[in-house]
Structure 1
Amino acid sequence: MISDPYSTPHIKIEKELLQGISDAATASGALIITSGYKEESIVELVGEVVFKSRIKNPNINFSAIAVGKWGNIQDCQQLESFYNNESVNHEERRKYQLELNHTHYILFDDGTRNSLDEGEFAATLARKISKGARRRIPLITILVGGTLHALDEILLDLKHGVPIIVVE
């Protein structure tokens, strides 16, 4: 799922999207992959889906995987400093908190700080998971809002034959 911190779906669309994601994920055992950044409204929606679905049925079988950049995560520098016995530079703050209801987190470190361009890595990972399983796992991309960078991700997915759903 592609989104950005500035896109907020209309409340009616949000509820319909939430219900549709929940139904599809629980029926198919889907893997939902987002950035995991709490500040993006669609990521919070996915977290809400996971939370509500697990309350209704603790044995629910679907995963919400957050794929994001280590350098974007709030307070990551404190962890780095702790393990490296260094002092913390409090002036340089990461801007994103992790949405805590995702089931898995994959954080990669490409050396950048505070950037939103993790989509290519996440899209490649999703395609590898889809094709690498014993049975092919269907893959779609859902675009909610998004920045100009999202167009690059959409183009890449279209080149690989991945269907796109665009939500206004």
Structure 2
Amino acid sequence: MKESMHAEHFYEKECNLFCPGKNSNTCQCGLLKEKHEKEVLEKSHGSQWDSATSTKKTKWRCAGTVQFENQNRTDRGPSPYMRIADDVDVDTLVKHIRASWNVPEPSLIVSVTGGAADAELKKEDQEQLRRWLQKVAAINQAWIITGGTNTGIMKICGEAVRDQNFSSAPGTNKQAVAIGIATWGAIAGSADYLTPPASHEDDIYYKAVYKKPDKGAELDPNHTHFILCDDGSRNQFGKEQKLRGKFEKALSNIGKGGQFTFAGSKVPIVCVVVEGGPGTIDTTRNALLNDTPCIVFDGSGRAADVLAFAVQISRKEIDDINFLTCEPQSKNSKYPEKSEDGIKELIRKKTEKDLNMKGETLDQTLDWLMECLNYKEKITIFKFHEHDDDSAAYFHVSISLIDSIGKSG
């Protein structure tokens, strides 16, 4: 790995405190007891694992390029990647990426979050979304940011970028940038394929062989770049959410002239929410916390539908609700309770029903939803199935995008 002018500011993380989980042979970080260093096991064990207090900083060495094998993708060469601690200074990270990855300044940033499972969206909806995303990717110097794995909405985004880049000349502004931001410890084969020898000082081309992983998720071969967020955990998803939100905000703040700037000359940014589960709601929450406006594809299913419902009922845009099903009903049987507690109970029932959850997971997701509602003026609802083709959808979302960008000022 070649020395970077920012290398002194970067590091990785390793578990430094064994905290037994439900299985006494496994730490709450996700690693087996035997995989921890001897000195870690010799210390007193902890009761609650936390990235900030249960890890140690280690030398930054995992950065270079990843080359995919056996994939249906364009021959544009390997994808740059870097493993980076979850609490990195995001302004320094943005400066490093722009200097080291030789990417054009973004003219537009579209952050896409949604379902990670391949079968959650209907095939015709997947095709419509792919066509729309390809139109977005065709915008000069557009940057698309996703969770970066080879599943669900992220895979669809990668295919849209692949198709756009295949149809445009290499080295032009029509070549879209697709950055995948994922949790390092949740990527299948990260320790085998993406970790160089400790003594190696040059860039290495890594090869990830396509196969269904037993644990973790594969990187998507059609993304152009990857940021792998390291909080010291293993086999645990969603640890990148906070870093992603901050990174997107810092990227927007560079301004079109390449300098960090104030509101008014930011790079336009929007988060697009399609289908998904609890992690999608958390990603949306982090986007809103960082002043990124969101477009929610109502009708795409699960998390997006729950979030759209929550926003609309909190705005009093839905009057006639069946309390048992949380669905609109005839106007002669309005749900009488309009208090904040009554609205929250309806959102809870909708969340429990559509996301099929209960207990602590439901409580956590409901808290995220209610936090999103503190920023509902930054949320635009797009009715996914009210348009016959992708051109109509693209036009409508483009208008929503302009409107949402205005909400970020």
Alpha carbons 1:76, 1:94 under 8 Å: kept: no
Q: Which has the higher Rg, Structure 1 or Structure 2? A: 2
The answer for the alignment partner of 2:132 in structure 1 is 20
| CA apart distance, 1:45 | 0.7
Q: Distance in 1 between matches of 2:126 and 2:155?
A: 11
Structure-2 residue corresponding to 1:62: 176
Amino acid at match of 1:165: I
2:251 to 111, 122, 129: 129
Q: CA deviation at 1:81?
A: 7.4
Deviation at 1:164, TM superposition (A): 1.4
1:8 maps to a residue whose letter is E
Q: Which amino acid aligns with 1:34?
A: T
Q: What's the CA shift string for 1:103-132, capped at 9, x where partnerless?
A: 111112110112221222112111110112
Cα pair distance change 1:142/1:80, threshold 3 Å: closer
SS at match of 1:16: helix
Match of 1:2 among 109, 113, 126: 113
- TM-score norm. by structure 2 comes to 0.36
In structure 2, the CA distance between the partners of 1:145 and 1:159, relative to structure 1 (3 Å rule), is: same
State the Cα RMSD in Å.
Answer: 2.3
2:222 paired residue number: 101
The structure richer in helix per residue is 1
- What secondary structure is seen at the aligned counterpart in 2 of 1:161? coil
What's the secondary structure of 1:66's corresponding residue?
strand
Partners of 1:109 and 1:94 in 2: how far apart? 17
> 2: CA distance between counterparts of 1:30 and 1:53?
11
Q: Specify the code of the residue in structure 1 equivalent to 2:277.
A: T
C-alpha separation in 1, matches of 2:284 and 2:270:
11
Please list every run of 5 or more consecutive structure 2 residues that lacks an aligned counterpart in the other structure: 1-111, 200-213, 258-264, 301-409
Do residues 150 (structure 1) and 242 (structure 2) align? no
Amino acid at match of 1:54: N
1:47 to 158, 170, 183: 158
Deviates more, 1:137-146 or 1:3-12: 3-12
Tell me the secondary structure at the aligned position of residue 106 of structure 1: strand
Question: CA separation in 2, counterparts of 1:119 and 1:155?
Answer: 9
* Contact 2:116/2:154, CA 8 A, preserved across alignment: no
How much identity, in percent, do the aligned residues show?
A: 24
- What is the alpha-carbon distance in structure 2 between the residues aligned to residue 29 and residue 81 of structure 1? 31
* Deviation (angstroms), 1:78: 2.1
Alignment of 1:73-92 (within 5 A): 73-79=187-193, 83=197
Kindly tell me: are residues 73 and 156 of structure 1, through their superposed partners in 2, closer, same or farther at Cα, counting changes over 3 Å?
Answer: closer
Distance 2:157 2:123 in 1: 15
- Give the Cα separation in 1 of the matches to 2:251 and 2:218: 26
Q: CA deviation at 1:18?
A: 1.3
Runs of 4+ more than 4 Å apart: 79-82
Tell me: higher relative CO, structure 1 or 2? Use CA pairs within 8 A at least 6 residues apart.
1
Q: Which amino acid aligns with 2:245?
A: A
In the alignment, the residues of structure 1 paired with residue 196 and residue 268 of structure 2 have an alpha-carbon distance, to the nearest angstrom, of 41
- Runs of 5+ consecutive residues of structure 1 not aligned to the other structure: 86-92
1:35 matched to which residue of 2?
147
- The 2-side partners of 1:54 and 1:144 are apart by 23
Kindly indicate whether the alpha-carbon contact (under 8 Å) linking 1:94 and 1:113 is maintained by their aligned counterparts in 2.
no
Matched, 1:138 2:265: no
